[in-house]
Amino acid sequence: MTKEIKRIGVLTSGGDAPGMNACIRAVVRTAIYNDIEVFGIKYGYEGLIDNNMCRMESKSVAHIIQRGGTILKTARSEAFRTKEGREKAYENIKKNNIDALIVIGGDGTFTGAEIFSNEHNIPIVGAPGTIDNDLYGTDFTIGYDTAINTVIEAVDKIRDTAASHSRLFFIEVMGRDAGFIALRSGIAVGAEAILIPETKTYINELIEHLENGRRKNKTSGIIIVAEGEEEGGAFEIAKKVKERFNYYDTRVSILGHLQRGGSPSCMDRVLASTLGYESVNALIAGKTKVMIGQVNKDITHTPFKKAIKHTVEIDIKMLEMSYILSI
């Protein structure tokens, strides 16, 4: 029989994402509704090792649904990568009589959860909190919608100055291993080109595309570049293009961590609330080592291994569409 869950711990790990607070709120209040105590763990897995945790009440999560970041703080824990560190974390879990964990984060978070659960047989359920939208088993991750809308708002403003000064802007967005932010935001801002890690960048083709735009009297342009793009990011691409195509005044803008912050969008608040609520329900139902996701509006339970190792493929048709719409 599945052990009854009486007390759970919740943590956020890895990079912060808008909507994490909404997810924490949903976890805390759903657990309390089901007569389960909740302990908030500060600074992710590092908090487990340091025994940095406290009991949370319904009022602990009042007025946080609209806030970006995470009230539980987050960190990347090198100590948790070691067996000794995980052993210490488990000792603190036992000391606080915690029966199960809910972890909010991305692939690194779930990798650690999988190992920890296997070693110490503690039930763990995950909610996908990452702006990259690169986890298998959910249409969207918590924070992605807010991040791309932040990019759109910033690029729209840059477009104004680009048009005023006849400039070509290379704008770098987050996406070290995946181009989902670049692709969707690039289409939304009408970018002249979108460069992502999943496809090879051909400088000759990019210059030819820009030349075609110049011949059609385009007086400015926006190129969206994912930070993990193979040619080295926005600065390197801009340098290579400028050497052979100097019709426009060229500028580079790195949006950086601006994309992580800000009040979460309606979509992220609802998604995060739903996934937090369903994470508690999954633990009650005896689920473990699964990520809670939403696919075609249906709630899914994807094993951690599958969520992090099954590569989410980019939609090439969207990339083709962006090229056609930019001519």
Residues labelled as active-site residues = 132
**What letter represents residue 21's amino acid?**
N
Where b means 16+ CB within 10 Å and e means fewer, 90-105 reads bebbeebebbbbbbbb
Rounded CA separation 110/278 (Å): 17
Rounded CA separation 229/158 (Å): 21
Structure tokens at 151: 């990019």
The residue behind tokens 């897995």 is: 45
For residue 215, the tally of other CB atoms under 10 A from its CB is: 8
Contact criterion met (CB below 8 Å) for 193 and 241: no
Rounded CA separation 303/118 (Å): 13
Packing angle between helix 203-215 and helix 234-244, nearest 10 degrees?
A: 60
Rounded CA separation 231/220 (Å): 23
Rounded to 5 degrees, φ, ψ at 187 are -65, -40
Contact criterion met (CB below 8 Å) for 314 and 196: yes
Rounded CA separation 95/308 (Å): 31
Rounded CA separation 277/294 (Å): 12
CA-derived radius of gyration, the chain? 22
Read off the DSSP letter of residue 142.
B
Collapsed DSSP state (helix, strand, coil) of residue 239: helix
